[in-house]
Homo-oligomer: A and B are copies of this chain.
Amino acid sequence: MQNSASHIKVAVDAIVFGYAKNDGVSVLLIQRKYDPFKNSWAIPGGFVLEDESLEEAVRRELLEETGIEVNYLEQLYTFGDPGRDPRQRIIAISYFGLVKTSQYQELKASTDAENAKWFNIKKLPALAFDHKKILATAIERLRNKVRYQPIGFELLDKKFPFSDLEKLYTALLDRELNRRNFSKKILSFGFLEETGELSRPEGKGRPGKMFRFNAHRYKELLKEGFHFEI
């Protein structure tokens, strides 16, 4: 390890997913104000400051650029090929975040976020830099991870009717699920609890029981060697 000077710069990016029953799975993008790629849509992010951790940098940039505070955040991948930014060498450490439905709704109201917008992951605009590739990596991670870790709950409100969970998984996995088998499986795990409330039906139909994810119980199950898989 020699101590050479370097002009490589370090940035973080955040691919944040949200979910709404009617909009499906969406990702949070911002519209660039300056060149290069002026007016293009891009993944929110920015340079890391000297004395903050990578995760702090992500949360700070997200708040500044979109007004959003994520509920779940994990590192995704580091993109660092020369030439990914036409101006200079930039290493982008990308993170993967999830927000709850209620936060998702609030974006429209936020003043910081005039140039931030949710895009359904099936209807994406052209993206700046190599952000298309980064986003594809994030979507792949989301689709894989949701199958063996209960991160789906991070996209729903604290209390939700079972049908929301089913719709979310149908959207994420992009295939129909058998309602009976799906609920049998999820409920057999034992980390969902009924709140005792019923959902107010929107329009017609029988109201469903409301559920809550018990993270504490889930951790206990993990210790006992339990393995979650859809």
Residues of A near any B CB (own CB < 8 A): 1-2, 4, 6-11, 45-48, 50-54, 75, 77-78, 80-82, 89, 91, 93
CA of A47 to CA of B78, assembled, Å: 15
Contact B10 A50 (CB under 8 A): no
Interface pair A46/B1, CB less than 8 Å apart: yes
A229 — nearest CB in chain B belongs to which residue? B229
**Copies of the protein in its oligomer:** 2
Chain B residues with Cβ under 8 A from A8's Cβ?
9-10, 48, 50
Are A51 and B10 touching (Cβ within 8 A)?
Answer: no
Query: Judging by beta carbons under 8 Å apart, are B6 and A50 in contact?
Result: yes
Residue of B nearest to A89 (CB): B50
Which of B2, B47, B89 contacts A47 (CB under 8 A)?
A: B2
Minimal beta-carbon separation of A210 from chain B (angstroms): 34
A interface: dominant SS: loop
> 5 extra interchain contacts, Cβ-Cβ under 8 A, other than A10-B91, A53-B81?
A1-B11, A1-B46, A6-B48, A51-B82, A75-B78
| A80 with B93: CB separation less than 8 A | yes
Known contacts: A1-B11, A10-B6. The answer to whether A48 contacts B80 by CB under 8 A is: yes
Q: Cβ of A91: which chain B residues have Cβ within 8 Å of it?
A: 10, 48, 54, 91, 93
Q: How far is the CB of A55 from chain B (nearest CB, A)?
A: 9
User: What are 16 sample pairs from A and B whose C-beta atoms fall under 8 A apart?
Assistant: A1-B45, A2-B47, A6-B9, A6-B50, A8-B50, A48-B80, A48-B91, A50-B82, A51-B82, A52-B82, A53-B81, A54-B80, A75-B78, A78-B78, A78-B93, A91-B91
Q: How far is the CA of A202 from the CA of B53 in the complex (A)?
A: 53
Q: How far is the CA of A81 from the CA of B56 in the complex (A)?
A: 10
Complex Cα gap A82–B48 (Å): 11
Q: How far is the CB of A58 from chain B (nearest CB, A)?
A: 11
Which chain B residues border A45 with CB–CB below 8 Å?
Answer: 1
